[in-house]
Amino acid sequence: MRKKIIAGNWKMHKTATEALALATEIIQMANDELHNQAHLVLIPPFVHLHSLSKLTAASSRVALGAQNCHHETQGAFTGEVSAAMLAAVPVQYVIVGHSERREYFQETPAQIAQKIDLLLAHHLTPIFCCGESLAVREAGNAYGYVSSQVIDSLFHLSPEAMAQVVIAYEPIWAIGTGKTATSTQAQEMHWHIRQEIAKKYGESLALNLSILYGGSMKPDNAADLLACPDVDGGLVGGASLQSRDFINIAKAVH
């Protein structure tokens, strides 16, 4: 059975006090109200990881994640954070290849592949993001584009390593725009990604991989998206900054 994951990417939001308050509320609400099989992941800015790890360590429902790591093991990379540092916090998940990092920080598919290798070496779960721009979708190339992203950064992995990865399909045109992919668009792309993985790694591995949807997921559209057979959860940006919205999205997992 595939793991159902609702991960909240807080991006560059929340001070230390606000982060503790939000995490405390989410953990409390998850304990009181969440009766399905959803696993929650809180993904705050790096500076809050240590304090939040004390809260998440006590919760069986809520794990901790980081938004990025550097692609080298260590060294003179001012301002960067390594996979080993994240493993020592400890966090359980790390986002890699988010479209904002690909666009604003010029991350390359090769660097993303290196990050994934380092994370897996430290027994951390990469949440590998892929997704096309509006121009690519309108040109009719969305499937080929996303296939290339998956192939370029993941297909060097052994089957054992690949089985540890979580994929997040995040159409760039739906991130932070309020414009969500329809459940049909999401299902078609998730199915396509799973088929791509099945061709390389076999049906059984592909069927066990969690593929999350990201892009303006909100309480009022989560049920439709999460009802799709190949959508195994969500990577949530804006709506993860409000405890009530985040928990209501998690409640839509079935």
Per CB under 6 A, contacts with ligand PEP among 21-80 are none
By C-beta, is 97 or 237 nearer to ligand PEP? 237
Identity at 104, one-letter amino acid code: Y
By C-beta, is 178 or 229 nearer to ligand PEP? 178
Instruction: Provide, rounded to whole angstroms, the least separation between the CB of residue 63 and ligand PEP.
Output: 17
- Per CB under 6 A, does 9 bind ligand PEP? yes
Q: How many residues bind ligand PEP (CB under 6 A)?
A: 13
Distance CA 163, CA 154 (A): 11
By C-beta, is 136 or 222 nearer to ligand PEP? 222
Sorted by sequence, the CB contacts under 8 Å of residue 168 that are 6+ apart come out as 7, 95, 127, 128, 129, 130, 211, 212, 213, 214, 235
Distance CA 93, CA 68 (A): 10
Per CB under 6 A, contacts with ligand PEP among 193-232 are 214-217
Distance CA 208, CA 185 (A): 21
- Got the DSSP string for 124-176? -EEEEEE---HHHHHTT-HHHHHHHHHHHHHTTS-HHHHTT-EEEE--GGGTT
Per CB under 6 A, contacts with ligand PEP among 156-175 are 170, 175
- Per CB under 6 A, does 7 bind ligand PEP? no
Of these, 68, 238, 248, 249, which contacts ligand PEP (CB under 6 A)? Answer: 238
Binding region for ligand PEP (CB under 6 A): 9, 170, 175-176, 214-217, 235-239
